[in-house]
C-alpha cells in the first residue's frame, strides 16, 4: 500500500470528500496519529484510506476550517435542486 503525507493546502477534492465522509463531525484526539518526519519533527495527522493508498493529512486549524467550508458548500449545492412552489393561473393568452 502506498503511503502519502498531504498538507491541507494540497488536498484534492477526492481526498477532501473522503475526509468529510470519514469525519462528518470533525476529528478528535483519538483520530490523530503522531509520527516523526525525516527532519525529526513531530507531525500530527488524520488517516484516510483508498483501495491502494493511505493518506496522512497533516492537521492544522486550516484543515478543520477547510473541511467545514467544503461540507457547507456541498450542502449549498444540494439546495440548488430544490424548487419553490408557485401558483399557476389558468388565465393566460394563447396567441
CA distance 95 to 85: 26
DSSP conformation class of 59? P
Q: For strand 32-36 and strand 2-6, is the pairing parallel, antiparallel, or unpaired?
A: unpaired
User: What is the reported pLDDT for 48?
Assistant: 93
The model carries a pTM of 0.61
- Encode the chain (95 residues) as per-residue pLDDT tens digits: 898 998 878 888 898 899 989 998 888 889 999 988 888 888 889 999 999 999 999 887 566 666 677 766 655 544 444 544 555 445 545 44
pLDDT of res. 22? 92
φ and ψ at residue 70, rounded to 5 degrees? -65, -45
State residue 71's pLDDT score.
67
Amino acid at each position: 500500500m502506498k503511503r502519502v503525507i498531504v498538507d491541507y493546502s494540497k488536498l484534492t477534492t477526492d481526498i477532501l470528500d473522503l475526509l468529510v465522509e470519514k469525519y462528518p463531525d470533525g476529528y478528535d484526539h483519538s483520530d490523530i496519529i503522531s509520527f516523526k518526519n525525516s527532519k525529526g519533527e513531530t507531525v500530527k495527522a488524520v488517516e484516510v484510506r483508498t483501495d491502494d493508498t493511505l493518506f496522512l493529512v497533516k492537521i492544522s486549524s486550516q484543515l478543520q476550517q477547510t473541511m467545514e467550508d467544503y461540507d457547507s458548500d456541498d450542502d449549498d449545492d444540494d439546495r440548488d435542486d430544490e424548487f419553490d412552489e408557485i401558483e399557476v393561473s389558468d388565465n393566460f393568452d394563447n396567441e
